Amino acid sequence: MHDYAKNCIDGVFDDPTWVARIHAADEDTKENKTDWSDPAQWYKANPSLGKLPNFNIEYFHNKMRELKQWPSRINSFKRLHLNMWVGSEVAWMEDHKWLACNFGKIDPERLYGRECYGGFDLAQKRDLCAYSLLFPPIPGDPKWHWLVWQWCPKETIEGRERKEHTHYSVWENDGHIITTDGDVTDYEFITKFILETAEKYDIKDIGYDKYKAAQIAIQLQNAGLTLSAVPQTPGHMTIPVDDLEYKVLKGEINHGGNPVLRYQSNNMKLRENASGNRMPDKEKSKSKIDGMVSGLIALHRAIQAEIDNNSEGADHYENNPVINFSKKTN
């Protein structure tokens, strides 16, 4: 419809029954790139700017300040506020901001007995699998702590290093990658490992993608653990994505400098739908992001627990700036 309207306006089509008017910022050209922070573009795309209550130039200046803190939302701003055509692929996080959340190596033993929330992401049997535990702050320890374990088949290490130009063998030697014998991942080994962590930590809930992990989930539930399916859709993943971004930018989470997680953070791209909801895009991400996805699934369960357990219910979480920003953006 947009293309047809534009062709009518440009005179490509002669259709006297079609009246079209398009309000949008200037399109990028090979010679010039539109400065979307220019107020002239704001007015061009919004003919009611300054003519409606609470929709004035200060509204857009506030948006500019927000986008300095939330750069991954620039595409949403361009699409929803300037009517600009943008791709669905969105960069996740600048590396220096991710590195700033290394508050020291995490000692798993110091977290024994602590309340936490889990998430695991199982890929194909020759691929990486990941399991994360997120530990909320407690008095005297204001940071979230993120433990992550990742597995891959021993016989695929060499091929991965050639294909991805990475350091899997170094990560294996340093204990950041756990290898299982053979050329396929041993799911029974992972199941046993998760059960062992449940003996050490107070795991309230573990999220999983039932499309890939239904069998392991049944085994863990039969062993007495609480598990919850977390569908890998924008509707379910956008709040954990937003919340993790907020925690990283505010320095509220400690990933302990895990090198595999840093590599995957740099890899991760987000897919954004027309409503501005976002989720990790494994197809567009240049390489593996399994550890990041497992952490987002764990965060989904932590967020849901906060909603369920708070005396004010969902209304309490409405005060979270992540939710408020999403509402204003959409």
Q: How far apart are CA 294 and CA 200, in angstroms?
A: 19
| Same-domain status, 228 and 295 | yes
What is residue 34's predicted lDDT score, i.e. its pLDDT?
Answer: 85
- Check whether residue 162 and residue 105 sit in a common domain: yes
* Max Cα distance, the chain (Å): 75
Same domain, 132 and 47: no
Hey, is 189 helix, strand or coil?
helix
For the stretch 169-200, pLDDT in tens is 999 999 999 998 887 878 899 999 999 999 99
Q: What is the pLDDT of residues 233-279, one digit of tens each?
A: 998 999 999 999 999 999 999 999 999 999 899 888 888 887 778 89
The CATH number of residue 205's host domain is: 3.30.420.240
What is the CA 235 to chain-centroid distance, rounded? Answer: 12
Of 96, 100, 90, 153, which is closest to residue 127 (Cα–Cα)?
A: 153
Please check whether residues 65 and 100 belong to one and the same domain. no
Whether residue 91 has pLDDT greater than 80: no
Indicate whether 206 belongs to any domain: yes
Q: Are residues 168 and 104 in the same domain?
A: yes
Q: Are residue 102 and residue 232 in the same domain, yes or no?
A: yes
* Domain-located, residue 127: yes
What integer is the mean pLDDT of 290-303? 96
Paired tokens of 256: 């302990």
321 and 219 inside one domain: yes
Classify residue 80: in a domain, yes or no. Answer: no
75, part of any domain: no
201 and 53 fall within a common domain: no
> How many domains does the chain divide into?
2
Q: Is the pLDDT of residue 209 over 50?
A: yes
Kindly state whether residue 84 falls inside one of the protein's structural domains. no
Question: What global pTM score does this model have?
Answer: 0.75
Please check whether residues 211 and 299 belong to one and the same domain.
yes
**Residue 122, domain member (yes or no):** yes
Domain residues for 17? 2-69
231 and 311 part of one domain = yes
Whether 102 and 184 map to the same domain: the answer is: yes
Same domain membership, residue 212 and residue 280:
yes
